[in-house]
Amino acid sequence: MKIIIKSIIEIAGFPKEHIEDTMQKIVEKLKNSKDWEIVEQNLGEAKEIKNLWSTFIDVNISFKDLNKIIEFCFAFLPSSIEILEPGNLNLDQKNLTLWFNDILTALHKYDMALKKLIIENKLLKRRLESDL
């Protein structure tokens, strides 16, 4: 089965050169993957927005199966994806269950990392206040 998606990957930061270099690395990773084929791409020009530089790539990619789309999403964290082809997908219960569990695993990982940062931040604030 051939599945084509449209995806937007955005990055922001500074300085401008770092953002441009990082986006070029993303483009190279996209092009060099054996798990998909780029059908069309449009690389946006880096622009300054509120003291940060921002750029994006709008890309259409062809996949052989939905598992690779999930892997793509976890690897590149696109802003959005849209399935262009086919018009209908048949999903079996086993794969759908696995995909949801993969998403939940990633969410739990990010939640744990965020909680750790919050705790570390609180500890640093207490230390700073006690040193004053």
Residue 7: pLDDT band (50, 70, 90) is: very high
What's the pLDDT at 50?
86
CA 100 to CA 79: how far, in whole Å? 19
pLDDT one-digit tens code per residue, 69-116: 988 998 899 999 999 998 888 888 888 888 889 888 888 999 999 999
61 and 109 in a single domain? The answer is no
Q: Does residue 71 share a domain with residue 6?
A: yes
> H helices within 10-92, ranges in order?
16-32, 66-76
Give tens-digit pLDDT for 33-53: 999 999 999 999 999 988 899
19, 55 in Cβ contact below 8 A? yes
pLDDT for res 26: 95
Highest mean pLDDT: which of 57-61, 65-69, 73-77?
57-61
In this structure, the answer to whether residues 15 and 65 fall within a common structural domain is yes
101's enclosing H/E stretch is helix 93-131
Instruction: Say how far apart CA 62 and CA 38 lie, in whole Å.
Output: 6
In which domain, by residue range, is 100 found?
91-132
Number of domains in the chain: 2
Q: Do 64 and 125 fall within a single domain?
A: no
CATH number at residue 32: 3.30.70.60
pLDDT for res 36: 95
Instruction: Specify whether 11 is located in the same domain as 73.
Output: yes
Relative to beta strand 3-13, strand 52-63 is antiparallel
Give the SS3 label for residue 108. Answer: helix
For residue 13, the surrounding DSSP H or E stretch is strand 3-13
Q: Which residue has the higher pLDDT, 49 or 61?
A: 61
User: Confidence band (pLDDT; 50, 70, 90) for 130?
Assistant: confident
Which residues, at least 6 apart from 119, have a Cβ–Cβ distance to it below 8 Å? Answer: none
Band the pLDDT of 27: cuts 50, 70, 90.
Answer: very high
- Does 25 share its domain with 66? yes
Nearest to 39 by CA among 79, 84, 80: 84
